[in-house]
A and B are shown apart, each in its own frame.
Chain A
Amino acid sequence: MSLEKTHPKEVKRILAKYPPEQKRSAVMPLLYLAQREEGFINKAAMQDIAKMLDITETEVASIVGFYTLYHDEKAGKYRMQVCTDLPCALRGADEFLNNLCGNLGIKVGETTADGMVTLESVMCLAACDKAPMFQTQGPDGIKYHENMTIDRTMELIEALKGAK
Chain B
Amino acid sequence: MAHILLRHRDIPDINKIDVYKKNGGFDAFKKAVTKMKPTEVTDVVKNSNLRGRGGAGFPTGLKWSFIDNKNWPHYVVANADESEPGTFKDRELMESNPFQFLEGLAIGSYAVGATAAYVYLRGEFWQVSAFLDEKIAEMEKAGYLGDNLFGTEYSLKIFTHLGAGAYICGEETALLESLEGKRGQPRVRPPFPPSFGLYGKPTIINNVETFTNVPPIIANGADWYKAMGTADSAGVKLFSLSGRVRRPGNYELPFGKTFRELIYEHGGGVQEGRPVKAIMPAGASSSLIVVDDKVLDTPMDYATVRTLGADLGSASVIVIDDTVSVDWIVDKTIHFFKHESCGKCTPCREGNYWMQTITHRIHSGEGKQEDVDLLLNVAKQMQGKCLCALGEFATMAVVTGIERFPQDFKKAVK
Contacts and interface: CB of A to CB of B under 8 A. Distances in A.
A129 B240 contact: yes
Contacts of B159: 17-18
B332 interface: yes
Interface residues of B, number: 53
Interface in A68-110: 68-70, 85-87, 89-91
Interface string B106-128: 00000000000000001111110
Interface residues on A, range: 35 or more
Contact of A68 (B165, B199, B284, B320): B165
A85 B332 CA distance: 7
Interface stretch (B36-44, B54-62, B244-252, B377-385): B244-252
Interface in B328-362: 329, 332-333, 336, 339-340, 342
Q: Which of B123, B244, B318 has the most CB of A within 10 A?
A: B123
A127 B162 CA distance: 18
A33 to B, nearest CB: 11
A14 B182 CA distance: 16
Interface stretch (A59-67, A111-119, A156-164): A59-67
A22 interface: yes
B287 to A, nearest CB: 14
Contacts of B163: 28, 67
Contact of B124 (A90, A125, A130): A125
A85 B284 contact: yes
Contacts of B63: none
19 contacts: A28-B162, A31-B164, A32-B164, A63-B164, A63-B181, A66-B166, A66-B342, A67-B123, A67-B184, A68-B166, A85-B85, A86-B332, A124-B84, A126-B83, A126-B87, A126-B90, A128-B318, A129-B249, A130-B248
Minimum-distance CB pairs A-B, first 10: A68-B165, A67-B164, A129-B248, A24-B181, A142-B126, A128-B242, A124-B85, A69-B165, A87-B242, A69-B164
